[in-house]
């Protein structure tokens, strides 16, 4: 997709942004029709994997989000999204474009506001932009500064790093819907996350690009403490969805059992790289072998440990 975008950008030159905006308008109109029909089928949904539909999200999260928004009958959205880059692919963008919204996005992407304005109109809704890193040390300060520290409808985080530590600092029930990225390559059972390093960079941490974030088991256990119920993941098994226990009576969907999480770690996305930075298409067993000497925080033991010592 990125290669195609680069080709189109080169061909269209100064007309590229106008072309992308027009293309986005078409995508929005098609999606509106799809989601309108979804509203009459809420009771028929048996798992959220069947809801995958991509408008502006990376991997079909838009459809899942719409299911929960419609189930909770939300007509105005207050959201926080951490890890948006230029907002061209984000979990909350479709909502910003189509519903009354008050949002805060947090990302260190260079010249963030200028880059965002290439894709959306900042006049359409209220969008606060915080152009910096989010960490366990500053997250509550940032949220409080902009009055986004409570009564949220959606909280989404995808920073390929210290996500666990940021969530750990958040108050319980901060939002009705909570979306968090996890690392499926850690497998279904171990409770680990990368160390709490404000400057964490997944590529610099290990050349394979595979040692990042947290395991799904550690995420679910953390969210249980935050008063949330796990409702499943997107189809590629990288983003998990939770609903505050205060609102689960409005969700017709039966939550999946969490004693066996294998089905949520079967990820076919090929992200592994060799020492030269080339993609090398490792399988699941090869992935764990590749990162076995990486240091992670073992949440059961409460200390830093090597992956190979935890999975033995």
Q: Measure the CA–CA gap between 311 and 125, rounded to whole angstroms.
A: 47
- Furthest CA-CA distance within the chain: 56
Cβ-Cβ contacts under 8 Å for 92 (sequence gap 6 or more): 77, 79, 81, 84, 101, 103, 105, 154, 156
Q: Measure the CA–CA gap between 304 and 294, rounded to whole angstroms.
A: 10
pLDDT confidence of residue 142: 98
Query: Average pLDDT by consecutive 10-residue portion of the chain (312 residues)?
Result: 59 69 90 87 87 93 96 96 96 97 96 93 95 96 97 97 98 97 95 94 93 97 98 95 97 94 88 87 86 96 95 76
Q: Measure the CA–CA gap between 233 and 63, rounded to whole angstroms.
A: 12
Domains of the chain plus CATH, in order, are: 2-282 (3.40.50)
Q: Measure the CA–CA gap between 12 and 211, rounded to whole angstroms.
A: 38
Q: Measure the CA–CA gap between 15 and 26, rounded to whole angstroms.
A: 17
pLDDT confidence of residue 113: 96
pLDDT confidence of residue 7: 62
Q: Measure the CA–CA gap between 104 and 143, rounded to whole angstroms.
A: 8
pLDDT confidence of residue 14: 66
Q: Report residue 271 as tokens.
A: 């992200």
DSSP 35-58: HHHHGGGGGG---GGGG---SSSS
């Amino acid at each position: 997709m990125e290669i195609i975008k680069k080709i189109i950008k080169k061909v269209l030159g100064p007309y590229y942004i106008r072309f992308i905006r027009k293309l986005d308008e078409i995508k929005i109109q098609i999606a509106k029709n799809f989601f309108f029909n979804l509203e009459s089928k809420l009771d028929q949904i048996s798992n959220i994997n069947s809801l995958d539909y991509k408008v502006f999200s990376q991997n079909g999260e838009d459809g899942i989000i719409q299911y929960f928004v419609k189930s909770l009958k939300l007509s105005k959205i207050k959201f926080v999204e951490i890890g948006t880059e230029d907002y061209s692919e984000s979990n909350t963008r479709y909502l910003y474009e189509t519903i009354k919204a008050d949002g805060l996005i947090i990302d260190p992407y260079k010249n963030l506001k200028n880059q965002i304005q290439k894709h959306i109109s900042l006049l359409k809704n209220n969008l606060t932009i915080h152009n910096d890193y989010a960490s366990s040390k500053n997250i509550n300060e940032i949220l409080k500064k902009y009055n986004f520290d409570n009564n949220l409808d959606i909280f989404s985080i995808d920073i390929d790093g210290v996500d666990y530590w940021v969530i750990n600092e958040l108050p319980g029930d901060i939002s009705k819907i909570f979306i968090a990225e996890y690392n499926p390559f850690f497998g279904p059972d171990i409770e680990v996350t990368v160390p709490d390093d404000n400057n964490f960079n997944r590529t610099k941490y290990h050349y394979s690009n595979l040692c990042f974030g947290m395991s799904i088991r550690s995420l679910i256990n953390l969210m249980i403490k935050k008063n949330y119920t796990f409702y499943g993941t997107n189809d590629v098994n990288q983003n998990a969805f939770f609903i505050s226990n205060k609102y689960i009576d409005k969700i017709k969907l039966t939550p999946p059992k969490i004693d066996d999480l294998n089905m949520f770690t079967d990820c076919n996305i090929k992200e592994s790289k060799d020492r030269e930075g080339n993609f090398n298409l490792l399988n699941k067993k090869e992935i764990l072998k590749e990162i076995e000497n990486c240091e992670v925080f073992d949440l059961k033991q409460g200390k830093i440990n090597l992956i190979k010592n935890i999975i033995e």
